[in-house]
Amino acid sequence: MSRTIPRTALLAALSLVTAAGATATAFGTSAGAATAGCKVEYQISNQWNTGFGANVIVTNTGDPVASWTLEWSYANGQEVTQGWNATITQSGAAVTAKSMSYNGSLATGGSTSFGFNGSHTGTNAVPATFKLNGVTCNGATDPTQPPTTPPTTPPPTGGKVDNPYAGAKMYVNPEWSAHAAAEPGGSRVSNQPTAVWLDRIALVTGTSGTMGLRDHLDAALTQKGGGELVVQLVIYNLPGRDCSALASNGELGPTEIDKYKTQYIDPIAAILAEPKYAGLRIVTTVEIDSLPNLVTNVSGRPTATANCDVMKTNGNYVKGVGYALNKLGSIANVYNYVDAGHHGWLGWDDNLGASAEMFKQAATAEGSTLSNVHGFIVNTANYSALKEDNFKIDDSVNGTSVRQSKWVDWNRYTDELSYAQGMRTKLVSLGFDAHIGMLIDTSRNGWGGTARPTGPGALTSVDTYVNGGRYDRRIHLGNWCNQSGAGLGERPQAAPAAGIDAYVWIKPPGESDGASKEIPNNEGKGFDRMCDPTYTGNVRNGNSMSGALPNAPLAGQWFSAQFQELMKNAYPAL
């Protein structure tokens, strides 16, 4: 869905991941006949004065098991206050976590995860020992300090909190979860939270085969229990939607702004404002890909399209986003995050600043103010690596800067984490609140598997250095449709790095980016050659092959081959 603008084309036209947090890894006996063993990763994902959130990954290294029980003890008086994806009980210092019906079966080498929130009194050491089904897993490592920015304080009661993800579970979409669980091996990730896409009017109320918005919110109340829960919604139905591509075109014509307001945004706002949903934290991702198109794909740019010129001239992208931010942001428990592209689209100097200005223009349109923007999201439905560890933007090879490599192409950023933090700095300088947080969609940017480099490339040239070491294995940074070789990225987690509210799975893994051939439909979705594996490209991807998987269905429909590819190449591995 998201696009790139090659710097070289523009010039011609103009003549770690490192998720901070306390972590311990414990190992048991090796797998073998009639043996038991385990590996446990205990990760403190966020922490404040008297509370913390933790994620636990359990890997069975022994014989297959039908159910599991994990035990540990706290040394500093910590108490578990709320858990998910496991039944957790505590007696004194001793904690017991038992598998659920859907995640108890673990093959040899199989993994599952669960999470919880807890309290502490100042010291929060990682447990020294774990037992899986009675077998001790030894060798826990010393932890590092968890992030404190954000949050530095526990969420206040009433009103909007600084980071809605802190101390909260995230809604698991039952429809996506069922698709994932039905896939071979899919139960390893089917309990992960993903966003609900409202990409046409009919999905607000629901159809005969899909849940409506109220259905999802009611299900969220059930999942919430006594704690906090975040529901993630994608607001995605602008007039003339996605003016630079065809696969994700929408149902509304370029001039149908009134219909967008009255038949789409207004009904969504009315449902979200119902009192029974006031206890949910509702995160909206507002209008993917729209505003950057008004900067990079209009007249004067080598990638201009007539459709984007129309949308810039009539102002309906800006009006629509402003109206959505105003209506939704006025609801006390709704947190708006505006889409901010990705580093391979807006990371160039002449794109980033102009896009930030466009975001400000939209955030102050139609009666909205900057206060209606809680943050921004990057890499939505895209594949850009979270953190490139094997080369840096300031590196040079034989006197040639990494920025001059064909892959980087004079970009200012090499990955999404640095771009998100850089864009945040720019937005704050333009007047957005200093506490705005960023989200990064990590649903498909893991790039693991056998093709993942283990170190930098050869120093023969700057291109061999970058290409040999980059995790992102796409043919070109501009390729965006159903990418071959992609993998699941970091699992959703709160406050993983400075200025980052969360890593999230906004694009549900396994849902197609677009059809690989023309398919008639009543959803307004066209055929984009970038989804055709035989396509030899255009100026947006340097006239390279598309890198798309074959036999893909319409955008948003389940694509089993993609889901299997993502699991196979997951990083961290499943």
Q: Catalytic: 395? A: no
Q: Position 212: which residue type? A: G
CA 155 to centroid of chain Cα atoms:
22
pLDDT at 22 over 70: no
145 in a structural domain: no
Q: Are residues 325 and 466 in the same domain?
A: yes
**C-alpha span between 555 and 246 (Å, rounded):** 10
Q: Does 210 share its domain with 325?
A: yes
Judgement on whether residues 11 and 49 belong to the same structural domain of the protein: no
Token digits of residue 412: 């200012």
pLDDT at residue 510 in the model: 98
Across the chain, which distance is largest between two alpha carbons, in Å?
A: 73
Which of 513, 540, 542 lies closest to 525 in space, CA to CA?
A: 513
Q: pLDDT-based confidence at 1, cuts 50/70/90?
A: low
- Residue type for 90, please? Q
Residue 326 host element (H or E): helix 316-329
- Spatial separation of the C-alpha atoms in residues 401 and 157, rounded to whole Å: 50
Q: For 237-293, what is each residue's pLDDT tens digit?
A: 999 998 987 766 889 999 999 999 999 999 999 999 999 999 999 999 999 999 999
Q: What is the CATH number of the domain that holds 110?
A: 2.60.40.290
Cis peptide upstream of residue 150 (ω within 30 degrees of 0): yes
Co-location of 314 and 270 in the same domain: yes
Q: What is the DSSP string of 378-440?
A: ESTT----S---S--TT-EETTEEGGGSTTTTT-S-SSHHHHHHHHHHHHHHTT--TT-EEEE
Domain assignment present for residue 553? The answer is yes
Average pLDDT, the chain: 88
Amino acid at 294: L
Pair 234, 196: CB distance under 8 Å: yes
Asked whether the whole model's pTM tops 0.85, one would answer no
Question: CB 77: neighbour CB atoms within 10 A?
Answer: 13
Q: What are the structure tokens assigned to 424, written together?
A: 């945040």
- Checking DSSP bridges between strand 334-339 and strand 281-286, what pairing results, if any? parallel
Q: Are residues 230 and 256 in the same domain?
A: yes
Tokens of residue 14, six digits: 């103009």
**DSSP three-state, residue 87:** strand
Same domain, residue pair 12 and 41? no
**What pLDDT does 249 receive?**
81
CA dist 419 and 386 (Å) reads 9
Q: Is residue 87 one of the residues assigned to a domain?
A: yes
Least confident of 24-38, 105-119, 550-564: 24-38
Q: How far apart are CA 347 and CA 472, in angstroms?
A: 16
**pLDDT tens digit string along 392-412?**
999 999 999 999 999 999 999
**What pLDDT shows up at residue 144?**
36
Residues recorded for the chain = 574
Q: Which of 142, 215, 218, 242 is catalytic?
A: 242
Confidence of residue 310 (pLDDT cuts 50, 70, 90): very high
Q: Is 288 helix (H, G, I), strand (E, B) or coil?
A: coil
Q: Which of 97, 118, 137 delimits the end of a domain? A: 137
What domain range is 358 assigned to?
A: 7-17+165-568
- Give the C-alpha separation, 487 to 562, whole Å: 9
- Whether 49 shows a pLDDT value over 90: the answer reads no
Tell me: do 193 and 244 sit in the same domain. yes
**Host H or E run for residue 137:** strand 135-137
Q: Identify the bridge partners of residue 116 per DSSP, sorted by sequence position.
A: 54, 83
In angstroms, the Cα distances linking 133 to 35, 42, 127, 305, 476 are 12, 17, 17, 60, 47
CATH code of the domain in which 340 resides: 3.20.20.40
Q: Say if residue 51 is in the same domain as residue 170.
A: no
| 533 closest CA partner among 481, 457, 460 | 481
The whole-number pLDDT of residue 158 equals: 40
For the stretch 192-234, pLDDT in tens is 999 999 999 999 999 888 899 999 999 999 999 889 999 999 9
Higher-confidence position of 55 and 427: 427
More confident residue, 253 or 540: 253
Distance CA 200, CA 212 (A): 11
Q: Is there a domain that residue 1 lies in?
A: no
Residue 424 resides in a domain = yes
123 and 184 part of one domain? no
pLDDT per position as a tens digit, 332-344: 999 999 999 999 9
Q: Does the CA dihedral 389-437-556-307 come out positive or negative?
A: negative
Residue ending a domain, choose from 101, 120, 137: 137
Residue 419's closest CA among 451, 393, 444? 393
Q: What is the pLDDT of residue 445?
A: 98
> In this predicted model, which residue has the larger pLDDT, 85 or 45?
85
- The per-residue pLDDT for 175 is 95
Instruction: Work out how many domains the chain is built from and give that number.
Output: 2
Q: Encode pLDDT of 408-445 as tens digits.
A: 999 999 999 999 999 999 999 999 999 999 999 999 99
Distance CA 399, CA 97 (A): 55
Three-state SS at 11 = helix
Quick one: pLDDT at residue 107? Answer: 81
User: Tokens standing for 185?
Assistant: 């091996």
pLDDT tens string 132-170: 999 888 643 333 334 434 443 333 334 799 999 999 999
